[in-house]
Structure 1
Amino acid sequence: MPNVSMTVNGKAASGEVEGRTLLVGFLRDQLGLTGTHVGCDTSQCGACVVHVDGKAVKACTMLAAEADGADVKTIEGMAAPDGTLSTIQQAFQDHHGLQCGFCTPGMVMSAAALLAENASPSEQEIREYLEGNICRCTGYHNIVKAIMAAAGHDVSAIAAE
Protein backbone atom coordinates (compact mmCIF):
# COMPACT_ATOMS: atom_id res chain seq x y z
CA MET A 1 0.00 0.00 0.00
CA PRO A 2 1.26 3.47 -0.79
CA ASN A 3 2.24 5.85 1.98
CA VAL A 4 0.94 9.43 1.97
CA SER A 5 2.36 12.36 3.85
CA MET A 6 0.80 15.78 4.25
CA THR A 7 0.54 18.63 6.68
CA VAL A 8 -2.84 18.64 8.41
CA ASN A 9 -3.76 21.63 10.53
CA GLY A 10 -0.11 22.59 10.77
CA LYS A 11 1.16 19.16 11.83
CA ALA A 12 2.87 16.45 9.80
CA ALA A 13 0.62 13.45 9.12
CA SER A 14 1.24 10.27 7.21
CA GLY A 15 -0.13 6.79 6.76
CA GLU A 16 -0.56 3.87 4.44
CA VAL A 17 -3.62 4.03 2.22
CA GLU A 18 -5.22 1.87 -0.39
CA GLY A 19 -5.34 3.50 -3.78
CA ARG A 20 -9.09 4.01 -3.46
CA THR A 21 -8.95 5.72 -0.04
CA LEU A 22 -10.69 9.08 -0.16
CA LEU A 23 -9.21 12.07 1.63
CA VAL A 24 -12.28 12.22 3.88
CA GLY A 25 -11.69 8.60 4.92
CA PHE A 26 -8.02 9.22 5.63
CA LEU A 27 -8.82 12.28 7.75
CA ARG A 28 -11.61 10.60 9.71
CA ASP A 29 -10.46 6.99 9.97
CA GLN A 30 -6.69 7.25 10.15
CA LEU A 31 -6.18 10.68 11.68
CA GLY A 32 -9.31 10.75 13.88
CA LEU A 33 -10.40 14.16 12.57
CA THR A 34 -14.11 13.45 12.57
CA GLY A 35 -15.19 17.08 12.19
CA THR A 36 -15.05 16.55 8.43
CA HIS A 37 -18.43 14.92 7.84
CA VAL A 38 -19.50 12.40 5.22
CA GLY A 39 -22.95 13.41 4.10
CA CYS A 40 -23.50 11.96 0.67
CA ASP A 41 -20.36 10.42 -0.88
CA THR A 42 -21.39 11.97 -4.19
CA SER A 43 -20.07 15.54 -3.89
CA GLN A 44 -23.57 16.97 -3.54
CA CYS A 45 -23.79 18.17 0.08
CA GLY A 46 -20.51 19.91 0.97
CA ALA A 47 -20.35 18.54 4.53
CA CYS A 48 -16.81 17.29 3.81
CA VAL A 49 -15.26 20.57 2.62
CA VAL A 50 -11.64 21.04 3.68
CA HIS A 51 -8.89 23.30 2.37
CA VAL A 52 -6.12 21.73 0.32
CA ASP A 53 -3.28 24.11 -0.40
CA GLY A 54 -5.63 26.97 0.42
CA LYS A 55 -8.48 25.92 -1.86
CA ALA A 56 -11.87 24.57 -0.78
CA VAL A 57 -12.15 20.91 -1.78
CA LYS A 58 -14.86 18.33 -1.18
CA ALA A 59 -12.83 15.63 0.55
CA CYS A 60 -15.20 12.90 -0.71
CA THR A 61 -14.06 13.60 -4.27
CA MET A 62 -10.32 13.56 -3.70
CA LEU A 63 -8.16 10.52 -3.17
CA ALA A 64 -5.86 10.67 -0.16
CA ALA A 65 -2.94 9.97 -2.51
CA GLU A 66 -3.79 13.13 -4.45
CA ALA A 67 -3.19 15.13 -1.26
CA ASP A 68 0.30 13.66 -0.80
CA GLY A 69 2.60 16.57 0.03
CA ALA A 70 -0.29 19.02 0.42
CA ASP A 71 -1.20 21.41 3.20
CA VAL A 72 -4.65 20.39 4.45
CA LYS A 73 -6.82 22.35 6.86
CA THR A 74 -9.92 20.87 8.47
CA ILE A 75 -12.54 22.35 10.76
CA GLU A 76 -10.39 21.23 13.71
CA GLY A 77 -7.72 23.64 12.50
CA MET A 78 -9.98 26.70 12.36
CA ALA A 79 -9.91 27.64 16.05
CA ALA A 80 -6.83 29.06 17.75
CA PRO A 81 -4.65 26.62 19.73
CA ASP A 82 -6.21 27.89 22.96
CA GLY A 83 -9.68 27.02 21.67
CA THR A 84 -10.73 30.56 20.76
CA LEU A 85 -13.10 30.33 17.83
CA SER A 86 -12.16 31.86 14.50
CA THR A 87 -14.09 34.94 13.38
CA ILE A 88 -16.26 32.78 11.13
CA GLN A 89 -16.96 30.18 13.81
CA GLN A 90 -17.84 32.90 16.31
CA ALA A 91 -20.17 34.55 13.78
CA PHE A 92 -21.96 31.22 13.21
CA GLN A 93 -22.46 30.94 16.97
CA ASP A 94 -23.49 34.58 17.45
CA HIS A 95 -25.96 34.61 14.57
CA HIS A 96 -27.40 31.11 14.98
CA GLY A 97 -25.94 29.85 11.70
CA LEU A 98 -26.45 26.24 12.69
CA GLN A 99 -29.10 23.90 13.98
CA CYS A 100 -28.26 20.21 13.91
CA GLY A 101 -24.63 21.06 13.08
CA PHE A 102 -24.09 18.35 10.49
CA CYS A 103 -23.41 20.74 7.62
CA THR A 104 -21.67 23.32 9.80
CA PRO A 105 -18.03 22.20 9.32
CA GLY A 106 -18.41 22.29 5.55
CA MET A 107 -20.25 25.61 5.69
CA VAL A 108 -17.54 27.16 7.88
CA MET A 109 -14.77 25.86 5.61
CA SER A 110 -16.59 27.12 2.50
CA ALA A 111 -17.19 30.50 4.17
CA ALA A 112 -13.49 30.76 5.03
CA ALA A 113 -12.57 30.03 1.41
CA LEU A 114 -15.04 32.61 0.16
CA LEU A 115 -13.75 35.30 2.53
CA ALA A 116 -10.17 34.51 1.51
CA GLU A 117 -11.17 35.17 -2.11
CA ASN A 118 -13.58 38.05 -1.45
CA ALA A 119 -13.26 39.82 1.90
CA SER A 120 -16.56 41.67 1.54
CA PRO A 121 -19.04 39.55 -0.44
CA SER A 122 -22.61 40.64 -1.01
CA GLU A 123 -25.53 38.53 0.17
CA GLN A 124 -26.02 37.31 -3.40
CA GLU A 125 -22.35 36.36 -3.75
CA ILE A 126 -22.51 34.41 -0.50
CA ARG A 127 -25.63 32.54 -1.60
CA GLU A 128 -24.07 31.70 -4.96
CA TYR A 129 -20.83 30.50 -3.34
CA LEU A 130 -22.73 28.19 -1.00
CA GLU A 131 -24.62 26.45 -3.83
CA GLY A 132 -22.45 23.36 -3.32
CA ASN A 133 -23.36 23.10 0.38
CA ILE A 134 -26.67 21.67 1.54
CA CYS A 135 -28.28 22.47 4.87
CA ARG A 136 -31.39 20.52 5.66
CA CYS A 137 -32.32 22.52 8.79
CA THR A 138 -31.73 26.25 8.67
CA GLY A 139 -33.02 27.61 5.38
CA TYR A 140 -29.61 29.33 4.97
CA HIS A 141 -30.80 32.74 6.21
CA ASN A 142 -28.74 32.76 9.40
CA ILE A 143 -25.78 31.08 7.70
CA VAL A 144 -25.66 33.93 5.19
CA LYS A 145 -26.11 36.46 8.00
CA ALA A 146 -23.21 34.88 9.92
CA ILE A 147 -20.92 35.04 6.89
CA MET A 148 -21.91 38.66 6.28
CA ALA A 149 -21.09 39.44 9.93
CA ALA A 150 -17.74 37.66 9.67
CA ALA A 151 -17.01 39.83 6.63
CA GLY A 152 -17.65 42.94 8.71
CA HIS A 153 -21.06 43.85 7.31
CA ASP A 154 -23.56 45.48 9.65
CA VAL A 155 -26.23 42.81 10.12
CA SER A 156 -28.08 44.47 13.00
CA ALA A 157 -31.07 45.29 10.77
CA ILE A 158 -31.40 41.71 9.53
CA ALA A 159 -33.95 39.80 11.57
CA ALA A 160 -33.02 36.40 12.96
CA GLU A 161 -35.03 33.53 11.54
Structure 2
Amino acid sequence: MGETPHPEKLVHLYDELTESQLGVPTKDYRKYLMKWGIDEGAASQLCSLIDPTGKGTITREALCDALKCWPNQPAILRDVEVIDSDMPSMKRESIILLMLEVVLEKRAKKETIEEIRRRLEKIYGNGWSCYIAEGRFWSICAHRQGSNLAFLYKKMVYGVFQTPYAK
Protein backbone atom coordinates (compact mmCIF):
# COMPACT_ATOMS: atom_id res chain seq x y z
CA MET A 1 0.00 0.00 0.00
CA GLY A 2 2.34 2.69 -1.25
CA GLU A 3 -0.33 5.34 -1.77
CA THR A 4 -1.86 7.29 1.09
CA PRO A 5 -5.43 6.16 1.83
CA HIS A 6 -8.42 8.49 1.67
CA PRO A 7 -8.77 10.88 4.63
CA GLU A 8 -12.01 9.18 5.69
CA LYS A 9 -10.16 5.89 6.16
CA LEU A 10 -7.39 7.56 8.18
CA VAL A 11 -10.00 9.14 10.49
CA HIS A 12 -11.81 5.81 10.79
CA LEU A 13 -8.62 3.96 11.76
CA TYR A 14 -7.99 6.62 14.40
CA ASP A 15 -11.54 6.16 15.72
CA GLU A 16 -11.06 2.41 16.06
CA LEU A 17 -7.76 2.84 17.87
CA THR A 18 -9.18 5.41 20.31
CA GLU A 19 -12.71 4.07 20.74
CA SER A 20 -12.43 4.27 24.53
CA GLN A 21 -10.10 7.27 24.98
CA LEU A 22 -9.89 10.98 24.07
CA GLY A 23 -6.54 10.94 22.28
CA VAL A 24 -3.72 8.64 21.28
CA PRO A 25 0.05 9.03 21.46
CA THR A 26 1.41 10.09 18.07
CA LYS A 27 3.85 7.16 18.02
CA ASP A 28 0.98 4.68 18.59
CA TYR A 29 -1.06 6.14 15.71
CA ARG A 30 2.02 5.97 13.47
CA LYS A 31 2.59 2.29 14.37
CA TYR A 32 -1.10 1.56 13.82
CA LEU A 33 -1.02 3.14 10.34
CA MET A 34 1.97 0.97 9.49
CA LYS A 35 0.09 -2.13 10.70
CA TRP A 36 -2.59 -1.21 8.17
CA GLY A 37 0.00 -1.20 5.38
CA ILE A 38 0.96 2.47 5.17
CA ASP A 39 4.73 2.67 4.70
CA GLU A 40 6.86 4.14 7.47
CA GLY A 41 7.71 7.35 5.62
CA ALA A 42 4.09 8.14 4.75
CA ALA A 43 2.95 7.31 8.31
CA SER A 44 5.61 9.62 9.78
CA GLN A 45 4.71 12.40 7.34
CA LEU A 46 1.00 12.08 8.19
CA CYS A 47 1.72 12.18 11.92
CA SER A 48 3.87 15.30 11.46
CA LEU A 49 1.00 16.93 9.58
CA ILE A 50 -1.50 16.00 12.31
CA ASP A 51 0.80 16.82 15.26
CA PRO A 52 2.91 19.68 13.81
CA THR A 53 4.04 21.03 17.20
CA GLY A 54 5.19 17.60 18.39
CA LYS A 55 2.93 17.48 21.46
CA GLY A 56 3.02 13.70 21.21
CA THR A 57 -0.76 13.24 21.26
CA ILE A 58 -3.26 13.17 18.44
CA THR A 59 -6.90 14.06 19.01
CA ARG A 60 -9.73 13.37 16.58
CA GLU A 61 -10.26 17.11 16.14
CA ALA A 62 -6.59 17.65 15.19
CA LEU A 63 -6.74 14.69 12.79
CA CYS A 64 -9.89 15.95 11.07
CA ASP A 65 -8.57 19.52 10.88
CA ALA A 66 -5.23 18.44 9.38
CA LEU A 67 -6.93 16.21 6.80
CA LYS A 68 -9.77 18.70 6.20
CA CYS A 69 -12.12 15.76 6.60
CA TRP A 70 -14.96 15.42 9.09
CA PRO A 71 -16.67 12.13 8.22
CA ASN A 72 -19.50 10.38 9.97
CA GLN A 73 -19.48 7.00 8.27
CA PRO A 74 -17.83 5.77 5.08
CA ALA A 75 -20.41 5.76 2.27
CA ILE A 76 -19.85 2.11 1.35
CA LEU A 77 -21.10 1.05 4.80
CA ARG A 78 -24.58 2.27 3.87
CA ASP A 79 -24.83 -0.75 1.53
CA VAL A 80 -23.96 -3.20 4.33
CA GLU A 81 -26.45 -4.98 6.57
CA VAL A 82 -24.83 -6.41 9.70
CA ILE A 83 -26.44 -9.78 10.42
CA ASP A 84 -24.60 -10.52 13.65
CA SER A 85 -21.61 -9.14 15.51
CA ASP A 86 -20.21 -8.91 19.01
CA MET A 87 -17.39 -6.52 18.03
CA PRO A 88 -17.00 -2.93 19.22
CA SER A 89 -18.53 -0.68 16.55
CA MET A 90 -15.34 0.90 15.19
CA LYS A 91 -13.53 -2.44 14.98
CA ARG A 92 -16.56 -3.89 13.18
CA GLU A 93 -16.56 -1.02 10.68
CA SER A 94 -12.79 -1.32 10.15
CA ILE A 95 -13.07 -5.03 9.43
CA ILE A 96 -16.00 -4.51 7.06
CA LEU A 97 -14.00 -1.82 5.22
CA LEU A 98 -10.98 -4.13 5.05
CA MET A 99 -13.10 -6.98 3.70
CA LEU A 100 -14.89 -4.84 1.12
CA GLU A 101 -11.58 -3.38 -0.04
CA VAL A 102 -10.47 -6.94 -0.87
CA VAL A 103 -13.88 -7.97 -2.29
CA LEU A 104 -13.87 -4.99 -4.66
CA GLU A 105 -10.54 -6.15 -6.10
CA LYS A 106 -12.66 -8.82 -7.87
CA ARG A 107 -10.46 -11.85 -7.20
CA ALA A 108 -11.57 -15.47 -7.17
CA LYS A 109 -13.45 -16.31 -3.94
CA LYS A 110 -10.65 -18.51 -2.61
CA GLU A 111 -8.08 -15.76 -3.20
CA THR A 112 -10.43 -13.19 -1.66
CA ILE A 113 -10.83 -15.26 1.52
CA GLU A 114 -7.10 -15.91 1.77
CA GLU A 115 -6.28 -12.20 1.36
CA ILE A 116 -8.89 -11.15 3.95
CA ARG A 117 -7.48 -13.65 6.43
CA ARG A 118 -3.89 -12.53 5.73
CA ARG A 119 -4.79 -8.87 6.34
CA LEU A 120 -6.84 -9.62 9.47
CA GLU A 121 -4.03 -11.66 10.99
CA LYS A 122 -1.49 -8.93 10.22
CA ILE A 123 -3.60 -6.37 12.08
CA TYR A 124 -5.51 -8.31 14.76
CA GLY A 125 -3.37 -11.42 15.38
CA ASN A 126 -3.65 -15.08 14.38
CA GLY A 127 -6.56 -17.51 14.24
CA TRP A 128 -9.05 -15.82 11.91
CA SER A 129 -11.58 -17.80 9.90
CA CYS A 130 -13.40 -16.19 6.97
CA TYR A 131 -16.31 -17.21 4.79
CA ILE A 132 -18.39 -16.05 1.85
CA ALA A 133 -21.87 -17.52 1.41
CA GLU A 134 -24.37 -17.21 -1.41
CA GLY A 135 -28.00 -17.52 -0.42
CA ARG A 136 -28.97 -19.06 2.91
CA PHE A 137 -26.54 -20.31 5.47
CA TRP A 138 -26.49 -21.52 9.05
CA SER A 139 -23.44 -21.47 11.22
CA ILE A 140 -22.36 -22.21 14.74
CA CYS A 141 -18.81 -21.44 15.72
CA ALA A 142 -16.71 -21.08 18.82
CA HIS A 143 -15.01 -17.70 18.67
CA ARG A 144 -13.01 -15.32 20.79
CA GLN A 145 -15.31 -12.79 22.42
CA GLY A 146 -15.49 -9.58 20.39
CA SER A 147 -14.38 -11.17 17.11
CA ASN A 148 -17.56 -12.45 15.44
CA LEU A 149 -19.00 -10.64 12.41
CA ALA A 150 -21.43 -11.59 9.65
CA PHE A 151 -22.83 -9.09 7.16
CA LEU A 152 -24.71 -8.88 3.89
CA TYR A 153 -23.32 -6.89 0.96
CA LYS A 154 -24.80 -7.05 -2.55
CA LYS A 155 -26.66 -10.33 -1.92
CA MET A 156 -23.56 -12.07 -0.53
CA VAL A 157 -22.95 -12.97 3.10
CA TYR A 158 -19.46 -12.34 4.45
CA GLY A 159 -18.22 -13.41 7.83
CA VAL A 160 -15.18 -13.63 10.05
CA PHE A 161 -14.37 -14.82 13.54
CA GLN A 162 -11.25 -15.46 15.56
CA THR A 163 -10.84 -18.87 17.17
CA PRO A 164 -10.85 -18.84 20.97
CA TYR A 165 -7.46 -20.54 21.08
CA ALA A 166 -5.63 -18.02 18.88
CA LYS A 167 -2.80 -16.07 20.47
Which protein has the bigger strand share?
A: 2
Give the TM-score of the pair, scaled to structure 1: 0.41
Structure of higher CA gyration radius:
2
Give the TM-score of the pair, scaled to structure 2: 0.40
Which protein has the bigger helix share?
A: 2
